[in-house]
Amino acid sequence: MSSEMEEVRLNLGHIELAAHLFGPADGLPVIALHGWLDNANSFSRLAPRLKGLRILALDLAGHGHSDHRPAGAGYALADYAHDVLRVAEQMGWAHFALLGHSLGAIISVLLAGSLPERVTRLALIDGVIPPTSGPQDAAERMGMALQAQLRLDSKRKAVHPTLDQAIEARMKGLVAVSREAAELLAQRGLMPVPGGFSWRSDSRLTLPSPTRLNEAQAMSFVQRIACPAKLVVAAEGMLARHGTLLEQLPFEREQLPGGHHLHLNDEAGATLVADCFNRFFGIP
């Protein structure tokens, strides 16, 4: 396992993103996409264990050291997918694999289904399609999202007096993580502010989506994927309880012990996920 990593920045014209670059220069091109409110350090345990891959682990827009979107803009899934394509152009990668966790897995599925000719392999960790809803909920959801957007102007980010308190807050977040995982995410996600520390992530990331796909629309992306795909399901994660959805997926699937961040929470989990994906990519 090599831990060599290069910090890079990519100017996409409309936004500048930060990233970590791992692996040999002649390795198989892979773009790695982290989960909601995480950052590129999500792959700091996993990426060095993957063999023969040139992995570009992004800070998605609004996360980590990447720029926030301009005032008035939002964080739609299609905009993330567009960013990834711009990144591929910057890297000179006409074809590339995607490695995604949670939100990053969702973006990966949408992109691989939209442009199946561009994506060579799909490696997913505890995420597949976005949350769905029926058409009868569309107007109510839009109203809820618009009101939340207006209220955001009067809200201030939480300030944690100490670094340790900020890390503990991340450990107890909507999706709990280990202390080690929280510390790794904090290295890239925290910034000093008057009175302590605050998370760098854009507050607009917490806004509800004004629209959602219905289940048939979401599954249409899955059905168009043409490349080999491998899904790691965390036994104590978010997908394990969605057996009906999992049975509909035409992907190779493997369930591993651990929570939603099993690839980051500890060395044992990272090793299990790496062993799984090294077999999937098939590079000796």
What pLDDT shows up at residue 3? 59
Distance CA 155, CA 139 (A): 25
Per-residue burial over 66-93, b = 16 or more CB atoms within 10 Å of its CB, e = otherwise? bbbbeeeeebebebbbbbbbbbbebbeb
Decide: helix, strand or coil at residue 118: coil
pTM for this entry = 0.97
Measured CA to CA in angstroms, residue 158 lies from 62, 195, 269 at distances of 16, 10, 31
Distance CA 109, CA 99 (A): 10
Q: Which residues are catalytic?
A: 102
Q: Which long-range contacts (CB under 8 A, 24 or more apart) does 75-79 make?
A: 75/202, 75/204, 75/205, 75/207, 76/209, 77/106, 77/107, 77/110, 77/130, 78/110
166 in Cβ contact with 197 (< 8 Å): yes
User: Where in the chain are the domains?
Assistant: 5-136+214-281
What sign has the CA pseudo-torsion 192, 189, 14, 218?
negative
Q: For the chain (length 284 residues), average pLDDT per consecutive 10? A: 81 97 97 98 98 98 98 94 98 98 98 98 98 92 95 90 96 93 97 96 95 96 98 96 94 97 98 98 82
- Tokens standing for 12? 């996409």
What sign has the CA pseudo-torsion 77, 83, 84, 89?
positive
Distance CA 59, CA 189 (A): 10
Neighbours of 151 (CB within 10 A): 10
Q: Which long-range contacts (CB under 8 A, 24 or more apart) does 63-66 make?
A: 63/34, 63/37, 63/38, 63/39, 63/189, 63/200, 63/201, 63/202, 63/205, 64/18, 64/39, 64/40, 64/188, 64/189, 64/200, 64/201, 65/18, 65/39, 65/188, 65/200, 66/15, 66/16, 66/17, 66/18
Distance CA 213, CA 219 (A): 9
What pLDDT shows up at residue 1? 45
What pLDDT shows up at residue 153? 85
What pLDDT shows up at residue 113? 98
Distance CA 60, CA 80 (A): 7
One CATH from 3.90.76.10, 3.30.565.10, 3.10.129.10, 3.40.50.1820 for 5-136+214-281: 3.40.50.1820
Distance CA 205, CA 64 (A): 12
Beta bridge partners of 160: 197
Which strand (E) or helix (H) includes residue 281? Answer: helix 267-281
